[in-house]
Amino acid sequence: MIKDIKGITSDSRAVQKGYLFAALSGTRFDGRNFIEQAVLNGATHVLAETGTKFPDGIVGIESDNPHRDFAQMTAQFYGDQPDNIIAVTGTNGKTSVADFIRQIFELMDLKSASLGTLGLVSKHVKGYNVMTTPDPVKLHSLLVDLKSSGVNYIAMEASSHGLNQARLDGVVPKIAAFTNLTQDHLDYHGNMDDYFAAKARLFTEILPVDGVAVVNIDDEYGCKIECDNIITYGCSENAEVRLLSQEPTPSGQNIQIKHHDEIYNIQIGLIGLFQAYNVLCAAACCIALGMDAHDVFDTLSKLQGVSGRVELAHATNDVAAYIDYAHTPDALEKVLTSLRPHVSGRLICVFGAGGDRDKGKRPKMGRVAAQHADIAIITDDNPRTENPEKIRNEIFSACSMAENIGNRREAIAHGVEILKAGDVLLVAGKGHEQGQTIGDITHPFNDLIETKKAMEARFAN
């Protein structure tokens, strides 16, 4: 059937003569309402849920799982993808792990790419604007372009939304990695069990039977991952790639790793235990792919941090300011505890929580800030269509020691203004993001730029 179609899409507006149209249901629209328009535009085949009434003269394809079948048909239609794909899932660390893997590949002279929250990152293919887990058509057209450009090694993030909506079905990874699971996206998944089930699809339904799972054995959900071939990493004595020790330094940390009874002492220019875990995961993925362990470990000291992840905005006069993407309780706790060894004075944290999202994590983030920061400043972070003051008050209920400054620019400026020698400021929540969404409008806003401006204005002399 695939050989009979000229193109494939789930957007009726993109249909041309001879196309297959996938009439998929979503949170806002039901694709079956656009079947007639797709046929008028030239669709000759229509994929839809079982029981759908199809117009005369077209090939109707009924499916009990049209999202999955659409992704698999798309993969078959495009027909090619890089031979060495590593897919990374988990609540935190996906972006860093995927980028670290890409960096390891490049340091070993392998043409590579990473795909995820930061879009497509590659020295070899440019010009793609993609989301964390793109829709199947965009994803597979990208994969075939990468392969045709000689990029045969790719690390990609596998988000829970993308996995739940079957966007990755049809991708054939050799390695699937699990970093951790902590509370996030419960507005979408409902509970932690369903959230984990979405992540676990990567291992039970997408990773081929001869593929390898790389799993954080220190995470309680990581221990639940089921796969015939598993390589574990972590601090546990049972971990195959084991972190023996981690010592903070002024510019990063010294880590000691054990693998197959050999011990490697490595200095990395990345701050925080969580980054050590991310480095371990990336290394374990490359080893699982068949690369020489000594060669992989030799590259780790050269890894550079990812944009918006414990990124130094400005340092001067014995003070420093960092930005980070941390927007969950676990991520905020990890970055605060990671920065603490580098603080001789006070640790100041500017943070918030998004609107129209999981409300349960708001007081939890407040408790984290109250416990791990010396001074907390609650501010707006994409309030969307919710009342910003209400969101801040829900955080404040568990963080009564905090200051409450709604305007994010003013909150950052205040955090900078109160810095004293030995202090460190963390601006958390947005990281690499370029906007602040208020109502239905996303206004340009960049934490890195705003923090740098405030620091330069304060410490100009």
Summarize pLDDT for 240-296 with one digit per residue, the tens: 999 999 998 867 899 999 999 999 999 998 998 999 999 999 999 999 999 999 999
Average pLDDT over residues 349-365: 95
**Cβ neighbours for 268, distance < 8 A, ≥ 6 positions apart:** 252, 253, 254, 255, 275, 276, 279, 300, 301, 303
Q: What per-residue confidence (pLDDT) applies to 248?
A: 85
Query: Is the pLDDT score of 185 beyond 60?
Result: no
User: How far, CA to CA in Å, does 278 sit from each of 9, 141, 267, 305, 342?
Assistant: 36, 29, 14, 11, 20
Q: Which residue has the tokens 């090939």?
A: 59
Q: How many CA atoms lie within 13 A of 299 on its CB side?
A: 25
**For residue 183, which of 325, 328, 324 has the smallest C-alpha distance?**
328
- State how many domains the chain has: 3
**Mean pLDDT, range 431-454, rounded to an integer:** 95
What is the distance between the alpha carbons of residues 340 and 414, in angstroms, rounded to a whole number?
Answer: 20
363 is a domain residue: yes
Tell me the average pLDDT across 316-334: 91
pLDDT at residue 198, rounded to an integer: 87
Q: The domain containing residue 133 runs over which residues? A: 80-302
- DSSP assignment of 388-419: HHHHHHHHHTT-TTSEE--SHHHHHHHHHHT-
CB 173 within 8 A of CB 210: no
The pLDDT of residue 83:
97
DSSP bridge partners of 124: none
Quick check: helix, strand or coil at residue 265? strand
Secondary structure element (H or E) that encloses residue 461, with its range: none
Regarding whether 222 and 294 lie in a shared domain, the answer is: yes
Instruction: Report pLDDT for 455.
Output: 95
| pLDDT value at residue 113 | 96
Between the CA of residue 186 and those of 6, 161, 203, 208, what are the distances in Å?
A: 39, 11, 21, 28
**Whether 332 contacts 297, CB under 8 Å:** no
Nearest to 367 by CA among 340, 341, 330, 338: 330
What are the tens digits of pLDDT across the range 368-386?
999 999 999 999 999 999 9
Choosing from 273, 302, 331, the residue where a domain stops is 302
Decide if 282 is inside a domain.
Answer: yes
Q: How confident is the model at residue 435 (pLDDT cuts 50, 70, 90)?
A: very high
In this prediction, residue 387 carries a pLDDT of 97
- Judged against a pLDDT cut of 60, whether residue 431 lies above it is answered with yes
**Do 293 and 207 reside in the same domain of the chain?**
yes
295 and 317 fall within a common domain:
no
pLDDT > 90? residue 192 = no
430 and 352 in a common domain = yes
- Predicted confidence at residue 309, as pLDDT, reads 85
Residue 109 pLDDT > 60: yes
Q: Per the domain annotation, does 355 fall within a domain?
A: yes
| Cα 193–Cα 283–Cα 251 angle in degrees, nearest 5 | 100
Residue 71 covered by a domain: no
Answer whether residue 395 is part of any domain.
yes
Give yes or no for residue 110 having a pLDDT over 90: yes
State residue 187's pLDDT score.
Answer: 56
Place of tokens 């990755």: 168
Q: Does 142 share its domain with 280?
A: yes
Q: Among 3-7, 124-128, 158-162, 170-174, which range has the highest average pLDDT?
A: 170-174
- Average pLDDT of the chain is 93
Residue with tokens 């943070």: 351
Q: Rounded to whole angstroms, how far apart are CA atoms 106 and 70?
A: 33
Tally Cβ neighbours within 10 Å of residue 290.
Answer: 10
- Whether residue 220 is contained in a domain is answered as yes
Domain boundary among 238, 269, 302: 302
Is 284 a domain residue? Answer: yes
How many CA atoms, within 13 angstroms, populate the side-chain half-sphere of residue 82?
26
Stretch (H or E) spanning 172: none
- Percentages helix, strand, coil for the chain (3-state, rounded to 5) are 35, 25, 40
Q: Among 5-14, 180-189, 315-324, 428-437, where is mean pLDDT lowest? A: 180-189
- Looking only at the bridges linking them, the beta strands covering 403-404 and 375-378 are parallel
How far apart, in whole angstroms, are the C-alpha atoms of residue 377 and residue 408? 10
Q: Are residues 441 and 326 in the same domain?
A: yes
Check pLDDT > 70 for residue 42.
Answer: yes
Looking at residue 68, its pLDDT comes to 95
Element holding 307 (H helix, E strand): none
Paired tokens of 451: 């923090």
pLDDT of residue 180: 93
Residue 41, by phi and psi: left (phi above 0), alpha (psi -120 to 50) or beta?
alpha
366 has a pLDDT exceeding 90: yes
Here the CATH number for the domain that contains residue 394 is 3.90.190.20
Same domain, 20 and 135: no
pLDDT tier at 317, thresholds 50, 70, 90 = confident
Residues 365, 326: Cα–Cα separation, whole Å: 10
Separation between Cα atoms, residue 379 and residue 364, nearest integer Å: 15
85-109: average pLDDT: 95
In a domain, 75, yes or no: no
Query: Phi and psi at residue 174, in whole multiples of 5°?
Result: -85, -30
**Is 247 in contact with 253 (CB distance < 8 Å)?**
yes
Query: Is residue 83 within 8 Å of residue 262, measured between CB atoms?
Result: no
Would you say residue 166 has pLDDT above 70?
A: yes
Q: How confident is the model at residue 89 (pLDDT cuts 50, 70, 90)?
A: very high
The whole-number pLDDT of residue 413 equals 97
Greatest mean pLDDT among 149-153, 197-201, 314-318 lies in 149-153
Which residue has better confidence, 226 or 113?
113
Q: What number is the average pLDDT over the span 328-341? A: 92
Asked if the model's pLDDT at residue 333 lies above 80, the reply is yes
Instruction: Report the pLDDT averaged over residues 320-347.
Output: 92
If asked whether residues 151 and 283 sit together in one domain, one would say: yes
Q: Both 278 and 316 in a single domain? A: no
Task: Say whether both 290 and 360 belong to one domain.
Answer: no
CA 55, 57, 62, 67 torsion-angle sign: negative
Question: Are 147 and 274 in a shared domain?
Answer: yes
Residue 189 scores a pLDDT above 60 = no
Same domain, 132 and 252: yes
- Tokens 């001879």 sit on residue: 18
The predicted structure's pLDDT at residue 1:
66
CATH of residue 246: 3.40.1190.10
* pLDDT score for 342: 85
Last residue of a domain, one of 38, 64, 90: 64
